Amino acid sequence: MTAESSMITENSIITESDGITKGGRQQSKEPDILIFAGTTEGRKLAEYASEIGACCYVSAATEYGKEILGERPGIRVLSGRMDEGQIAGFLEEKGIRLVIDATHPFALAVTENIHAACDRTGVRYVRCLREKGTDTGGEVVMVDSVRQAVEYLKTTQGNILIATGSKELHLYTEIQGYKDRCFARVLSTPESVEESAGLGFQGKHLIAMQGPFSRELNLALLKYADAAYFVTKESGKAGGFEEKLEAAREAQAVPVVIGRPGEAGESLERAKEILLEQLKTG
């Protein structure tokens, strides 16, 4: 069992229209599908499940993620975190037959928990992967982790726009003069903002926004920070990775890219097909 937990609690929000599709067709009262969201793909799968009348649970890590998912017919939105054993218990208690893992490609511990719980309970597990972005050419510094990015940036000069989230933001405090050089872009949640401010990222050096971002907005922020370097994760097409690279080229900032872990899984379109197949066999 990993230290990091996945995300389910029984404190779910059930939409008033739960159990009825837009076309008025009655759905199964008890879902046997669980989608782990947290990405654009997860939201799109939830939308598709609602459209086709596949009643399912959709899990988001936070209240903020739950708000983004919104209320949809037939969708029972869950929030919170659980470890491998608790996930397995939920799968058995609810009689889940299909789990689609559409969590973030860098949330490795979460995926490990979900996959292990499915193995324990014999529930079908499907990993939904986001489409990789296209390399737009030009200079890119590829690294394997935030730690490696920080070690590289220690050898550089010039301002840095950081878009790798608040979880490992503390590592950037090792860069000499980080309070002046570094600008952190984090999620606009109280937890992220408070944690970042506590590390010394304050005032104009702390940008709280929800992505994904357009090329124009990335470019404006790079110019705002007068950034020579732009640190980001290889977040794929849905994560706006191409727009980040394009903006960096135009701003003449060097992208420092944390490569995504290698995984086997299904595309968003194939995951939708699997949802439809499950509905037909259910």
The pLDDT assigned to 36 comes to: 93
CA distance 30 to 19: 9
Query: Model confidence over 207-222: pLDDT tens digits?
Result: 999 877 899 999 999 9
Helix %, strand %, coil % for the chain, to 5?
40, 20, 40
| Residue 47: both structure tokens together | 């939308």
pTM over 0.85: no
> Backbone phi, then psi, for 277, in 5-degree steps?
-60, -40
At 117-160, the pLDDT tens digits run 999 999 999 999 876 554 445 578 888 889 999 999 999 999 99
In terms of Cα–Cα distance, which of 144, 146, 164 is closest to 154? Answer: 146
CA 270 distance to own-chain centroid: 19
Distance CA 237, CA 39 (A): 12
Q: Please write the tens of the pLDDT for every residue from 29-79.
A: 578 999 998 778 888 999 999 999 989 999 987 666 667 677 888 889 888
Neighbours of 85 (CB within 10 A): 13
Write the secondary structure of 128-185 as one string of H (helix), E (strand) and C (coil).
ECCCCCCCCCCCCEEECCHHHHHHHHCCCCCEEEEECCCCCHHHHHHCCCHHHHEEEE
- What residue type is 131 in one-letter code? E
Q: Is there a contact between 226 and 159 (Cβ–Cβ < 8 Å)? A: yes
Domains of the chain, first to last: 13-129+263-281 (3.40.50.720), 141-258 (3.40.50)
Q: Are 73 and 18 in contact (CB under 8 A)?
A: yes
